[in-house]
Amino acid sequence: MGLFKSLVDRARLVPLLRKQHDSAELRAHFAARHDIVVGLYSYGCFDRWRMPGPLRIGRYCSFAKTVRVVDANHPVEALTTHPALYERQFGVIDEDIIHAAPLIIEDDVWVGHNVVILPGCKRIGRGAVIGAGSIVTRDVERYEILAGVPARHLRQRFAPELAAAIEASHWWEMDSAALRALVAAHHDTVYSPTPETIAAAFPRRFERAGAGV
């Protein structure tokens, strides 16, 4: 019966996954069933086996289809490392005893193919990039680029002044129509931003910031 239900659930998800970047129904399903909350326009993360909950993902994130999240380590200090000691499905314990804190992935994060995110990482900051094949063992700062085994800092995507301007813009709160309009009106700014051009493209944000709002 459990296998049949699983197959039915997967079949139901197929049409929703075709529009995973903006499907409200798909997001509601994963939030209610698997404790996986995904912001609009993020994709590649709707797979509870590769990327199990609890998981919180922001908007405009890109995940390769081979990314994996490891939510807990086996208990090396215990009598056995077997999951029988923490998963009830094996019949040894009465209740699951994994109480993993959510992995939080902020907006505009790009994670490449065959990346493995281990339990030591609980937050990946906005705008971060993780190179293909990396093993992530720690938290990742905003706009940090990492790669390697284990993943190590390569560089920041932006200079501090530009990163601060991008943060102040809150561009990720835009819907796709507003982002399209931004590209049309400020093409060069979108593809090669500077602090000055970001401020010009988002005048209301910067006026409020200047007024201390």
SS in 3 state form for 125-148? CCCCEECCCCEECCCECCCEEEEC
Is 32 among the domain residues? yes
The whole-number average pLDDT for the span 82-104 is 88
Mean pLDDT of 106-132: 97
50 phi/psi in degrees, rounded to 5 = -80, -40
Instruction: Report whether 59 contacts 107 (CB < 8 A).
Output: yes
Do 199 and 108 share a domain, yes or no? no
- 77 within some domain: no
Total structural domains within the chain: 2
Give the span between the Cα atoms of 199 and 169, in whole angstroms: 8
Domain that holds residue 199: 161-210
What proportion of the chain, given as a percentage, has pLDDT over 70?
Answer: 92
99 has pLDDT over 80? no
Q: Is 153 helix (H, G, I), strand (E, B) or coil?
A: strand
- At residue 210, the pLDDT reads 60
Q: Which residue has the tokens 């201390």?
A: 212
- The answer to whether residues 188 and 143 belong to one domain is no
Q: Which residues pair with 199 in a beta bridge?
A: none
Residues 64 and 169 occupy one common structural domain: no
Q: Does the active-site annotation cover 74?
A: yes
Q: Are residues 58 and 138 in the same domain?
A: yes
Q: At what angle do helices 24-34 and 2-17 cross, to 10 degrees?
A: 150
- pLDDT of 205: 82
pTM: 0.87
Question: Do the beta carbons of residue 36 and residue 55 sit within 8 Å?
Answer: yes
Structural domain contains residue 90 = no
**Active site residue: 74, 113, 153, 170, which one?**
74
Cis amide bond preceding 54, omega within 30: yes
* pLDDT of the residue at 3: 46
Exposed/middle/buried for 54, CB within 10 Å: 0-12, 13-18, 19+?
Answer: middle
How sure is the predictor about 211, in pLDDT bands with cuts at 50, 70 and 90?
A: very low
The whole-number average pLDDT for the span 163-190 is: 97
By three-state DSSP, how is residue 159 classified? coil
At 1 the pLDDT is 45
Residues 132 and 177 in one domain: no
81 domain residue, yes or no: no
Are 145 and 184 in a shared domain? no
Residues 6 and 61 occupy one common structural domain: yes
Q: What is the rounded distance in angstroms from the CA atom of residue 195 to the CA atom of residue 158? A: 10
